[in-house]
Amino acid sequence: MTVTVDLSGRVAVVTGGTRGVGAGIARAFLEAGAEVVVCARRPPEERIEVEGRTARFLPLDLRDPDAVDTFVTRVKSEHGRLDTLVNNAGGTPFRLLADGGAARHARVLELNLTTPLTASLAAYGVMRDQERGGSILMIGSVSGGRPSPGTAAYGAAKAGLDSLARSMAVEWAPRVRVNTLVLGMVRTELSHLHYGDDAGIAAVGRTVPAGRLAEPADVGDACVFLASDRAAYITGASLLVHGGGERPAFLDAATVNRDAPPPPPRPETANKES
């Protein structure tokens, strides 16, 4: 049996959808038949299109609540509806906590936590009145569930984003579903800045149980599933899209020779009286 996801007639908005993971998500929704609107402060360097169908770009500074409300109203007016919002915009530079003042770290929190809240509130205002409701997706990170030295504010924001999504899912049910995709490392056009050349990227990929970094299309496919009727009973969930996570460091630090035969059993003396 062939299982397909058809989002024809649906309208999806992808924030930060002009490059990298966001562009991959936009392409996945185009492939599924949806109308796609991407927003960012700057236009994409090249059109995002699939088989002649193109994502529409609208400029938007997500840190401006009034501009976000105007943007969502425009999407509703010109496309007739809003079925899915993917809160993908975000990111952070590497900065140790002691090397940046509180204001700098607060800007990272704003971009990665406050702006998804702002966009979600605006989208909910449209979705709650639609017969089919809608779906909101948060793009989270494994950084929200483990120490993130050098990106601590980002990790804190992603932890908060996951919690926020769970509360939204309860408050806005059953009309609007809200879920989080928890991403690990994804290969994009900027991967070389973090991991070096192709050899470095491949070496980092080998630390992932799946044997490689995710591709933006992997994330896009997961988003399409969660936005579809196939996931109609899924809300308040966190979907791990990380290829199995990170290999525990102790496995590489251990000195056990796994090819050697096991040692002979020790005498049972612990419970014997002397």
Report the DSSP pairing between strands 49-50 and 53-54. Answer: antiparallel
Q: Is the dihedral of CA 33, 138, 237, 81 positive or negative?
A: negative
Residue 261 is predicted with a pLDDT of 59
Report the DSSP pairing between strands 53-54 and 56-59. Answer: unpaired
Q: If pLDDT is split at 50, 70 and 90, which confidence band does 263 have?
A: low
pLDDT at 253 over 90: no
Unique residue bearing structure tokens 């990106």: 151
Q: Write down the catalytic residue from 124, 154, 195, 233.
A: 154
Say whether 124 is catalytic.
Answer: no
The residue type found at 240 is L
Residue 24 host element (H or E): helix 20-31
Domain 11-246 class? alpha beta
Which residues are 56's β-sheet partners?
Answer: 37
pLDDT digits (tens, 9 = 90+) for 95-151: 999 999 999 999 999 999 999 999 999 999 999 999 999 999 999 999 999 999 999
Q: If pLDDT is split at 50, 70 and 90, which confidence band does 272 have?
A: very low
Q: Is 180 helix (H, G, I), strand (E, B) or coil?
A: strand
Unique residue bearing structure tokens 């185009």: 30
Residue 63 is predicted with a pLDDT of 97
User: How much of the chain, in percent, has pLDDT values that exceed 90?
Assistant: 78
Which residues are 13's β-sheet partners?
Answer: 37, 85
Closest C-alpha among 143, 15, 144 to residue 87:
15
